[in-house]
Structure 1
Amino acid sequence: MLVYLPGGVALALARIPAGSFQMGRAANERSSYEWEDPQHAVTIGYDFYLARTETTQAQWQAVMGTNPAHTYGTGANYPVYFVSWDDCQAFVAALNGLGLGGTFRLPSEAEWEYACRSGAQTRFFFGDSLGVEDEDQDGLAEGLPGNRSDYMWWWFNCQGNANGAYGAKPVGSKLPNSFGLYDMSGNVWEFCQDYWHPDYTGAPADGSPWLAPPSIYRVVRGGAWSFYAYYGRSAGRAASAPDAHYGIGIRLAWTDN
C-alpha cells in the first residue's frame, strides 16, 4: 500500500496478517536478557499495516517541516533519528491531521515483534546467527561461511572502517524479512507505543500496547548501527525516556478505520 505525503513523498506499508506467536526470548537463547522473559503466547486477531522501512528524513520533513537528524547519516532516504517518543507522538498527530484516511500510530511492542519475526522463532528473523565469529565484536565477519550481514546494519559494518561509513544507512539497503519489512534488525532503534516494564509478567496477550501501570520509560526495538548485533535479535528490547533525543527513529503502523 502506498500513501503520498505532502510534496508527493511516498510512504510504503505492508499488510501484516493476523496470527499467533511466542513473544520473548527462548530458553537458553544466546546473548539475551532477563527482561525478555517470560516467553509467552500472543494472538493478534486483526490485520494491520506497518511501514516497509523506518520513517525517512524526507517523510518526516514532509510532515513536520524540519529534519532533526544530523552528523550520523543525512539524506532523503536515510532514517530520521534524534527524535524523542514525544516528538513521534507529535509526528503521528500531524500525519493523522492530513486527512489521508485510516489511523497512523506507533506499533505496540507485540505487533513490532510479531512483524519482525514474520513467522520465524529463531534469534533473528533470518536465523539463529549472523554467521560471524563473534557478534559482540567486529571480529572476522567478512569471508566467514554463512555470513548474514546482508540482512542488517550493526556495529561491525557501520563504524567507519573498511566496512562502511560511520552512522546510519539508507533505508532498504539490506534484505527484507518474509513480510517485506526492511531494517527490522539494526540501522536505528524504533519506538513502540508501550511503557517499559522490566519483564513480561502481566503483559497483554492480544497485541495491544502495554500502557498500565505507567512508568517513566518507553520501549524501543530493533537495535542500531552503533550497537552489537545481539541487540537486533527479534526478542531484543530496550528503554528510552520519552523526551530523550538519542539515535532513535520510528516505524509507522496504520489501521483502517
Structure 2
Amino acid sequence: MKALCLWRSWMQWIVLCVSVIALTSQASPAGSSSPVSHKNSLGMTFVRIEAGSFLQGAPSSDPDFDVDEARREVTISQPFYLQTTEVTQGQWLSLMGVNPSAFSSCGPDCPVERVNYEMIQVFIDKLNQLDPKASYRLPTEAEWEYAARAGTSSPFNTGDCLSESQANTNGKAVRKGCELFERSQGPVAVGSYPPNGWGLHDMHGNVWELCEDWYGPYSSGSAVDPKGPQSAQYIVLRGGSWRFYPTFSRSANRLKAFRNIGGFRLVRVAAPPA
C-alpha cells in the first residue's frame, strides 16, 4: 500500500509538471513572442487580440436591425492590445487629478464616465508621456466590434440574449424570447461580470464607450482596417450601458451621439516587452 501511495504521488507530480509546461507554452499566441497580456503602471491590463476577419454589423433579419448596421466583411490585419476593462475612476484620477464622473460615489474601481472625446485625448497624451515605450489610443469601431464579438456572430457574445448575470443593463424590456430582469441602478465596478471569450469585461453594458472614429455610414463591400471620419457632427458610442435596454448593447449596435460623453477603454499600440 505504501508503494502504491508513493507511485501515485510521483504520478501526480508528473501530471502537475506537464500541466505547468502546457500553461507556460500558452503564454504567447502561436507564432508570437509577445505576451498575451500586459499591465501598465496605472494598473490598466491589456490583452492581445489576434488579427482576423469577421462580419461587422447585423443581418437585416434581426428584429433590432438598424440601417446603419448593414453587414460587411472586415479584416483586422494586425494584432492589437485592448484594455480588458473600461478605464476606471481611480486610473483617471491618478493621471488627471480630478474625477468628472457623475457616479463618483461608486468608487475608484468603477468606470470613469461623463468624459468627452477631447478630455480622453488629454488623458491619452499624459499616458503616452508616462509610458513612452508605448502608444495609446481609442479603438476604432471595427476593432471594438471585432473584440466585443470574440469570434461570435450572435447579437451578443453570450448568444441571442443578455441576462442580469452577464451584463449591467436595464432588463425592463428585452428581445423576444429573452427573460426580463430588474433595471440596474447605476455603473458597477469593472470586471464584476464574466469576460467574453477573449478576456474582455463589460463589452456589453455598464457604461457607453467612445471610439476613435466619429459617426459615418459604413462603406459598401469588404474592408481592411476601416476607419470612420476623424471629425463629424456625431461621435460613435458602443456597448450600451446600465440605463439602456439590452438591445442597445448588441455587438453591432451604433449610437450616434451629439454630446460626445461616455466612458472608454484604450488600445495599446506597441507590443509590450516579452
TM (norm. structure 2) is 0.77
CA distance in 1 between counterparts of 2:184 and 2:167 reads: 15
**How is 1:71-220 mapped onto 2 (pairs within 5 angstroms)?**
71=103, 74-130=106-162, 148-156=163-171, 163=182, 166-197=185-216, 199-202=217-220, 205-211=223-229, 214-220=231-237
CA distance in 2 between counterparts of 1:81 and 1:96 reads: 21
State the match for 1:43 in structure 2: 75
Work out whether residues 2 and 10 of structure 1, in 8 Å CA contact, stay in contact via their aligned partners in 2.
no
State the match for 1:137 in structure 2: none
- Please report how far the alpha carbon of residue 202 of structure 1 lies from its aligned counterpart in structure 2 after TM superposition: 4.9
- Please report how far the alpha carbon of residue 107 of structure 1 lies from its aligned counterpart in structure 2 after TM superposition: 0.2
**Per the alignment, in what secondary structure is the counterpart of residue 113 of structure 1?**
helix
CA distance in 2 between counterparts of 1:117 and 1:168 reads: 22
- Please report how far the alpha carbon of residue 227 of structure 1 lies from its aligned counterpart in structure 2 after TM superposition: 0.4
What is the CA deviation profile of residues 85-141 of structure 1, one whole-angstrom value per residue up to 9, with x for unaligned ones? Answer: 1111111111111134221000000000000000000000110123xxxxxxxxxxx
Name which structure has the greater RCO, CA cutoff 8 Å, separation 6+. Answer: 1
* Contiguous gaps of at least 5 residues in structure 1: 131-147
What is the CA deviation profile of residues 198-255 of structure 1, one whole-angstrom value per residue up to 9, with x for unaligned ones? Answer: x31358822242226x4211111000001011000000111223xx364x10111111
* Contiguous gaps of at least 5 residues in structure 2: 1-36, 173-180
Q: Root-mean-square deviation (CA), in Å?
A: 2.1
CA distance in 1 between counterparts of 2:228 and 2:210 reads: 13
State the match for 1:255 in structure 2: 269
Work out whether residues 69 and 80 of structure 1, in 8 Å CA contact, stay in contact via their aligned partners in 2.
yes
**How is 1:2-21 mapped onto 2 (pairs within 5 angstroms)?**
2-5=38-41, 9-21=42-54
Distance 1:112 1:203, change over 3 A: farther
CA distance in 2 between counterparts of 1:149 and 1:165 reads: 9
State the match for 1:141 in structure 2: none
As a proportion of its length, which structure holds more helix?
A: 2
CA distance in 2 between counterparts of 1:62 and 1:72 reads: 14
Distance 1:72 1:95, change over 3 A: closer
Percent sequence identity is 37
Runs of 4+ aligned residues of structure 1 deviating over 6 Å after TM superposition are none
Q: Which structure is larger by alpha-carbon Rg, 1 or 2?
A: 2
- Please report how far the alpha carbon of residue 2 of structure 1 lies from its aligned counterpart in structure 2 after TM superposition: 3.2
* Counterpart AA for 2:38: L
Aligned length: 227
Work out whether residues 186 and 224 of structure 1, in 8 Å CA contact, stay in contact via their aligned partners in 2.
yes
- Please report how far the alpha carbon of residue 29 of structure 1 lies from its aligned counterpart in structure 2 after TM superposition: 1.0
**Per the alignment, in what secondary structure is the counterpart of residue 93 of structure 2?**
helix
- Please report how far the alpha carbon of residue 164 of structure 1 lies from its aligned counterpart in structure 2 after TM superposition: 7.5
Work out whether residues 73 and 168 of structure 1, in 8 Å CA contact, stay in contact via their aligned partners in 2.
no
CA distance in 2 between counterparts of 1:65 and 1:205 reads: 40
Distance 1:65 1:202, change over 3 A: farther
State the match for 1:142 in structure 2: none
State the match for 1:26 in structure 2: 59
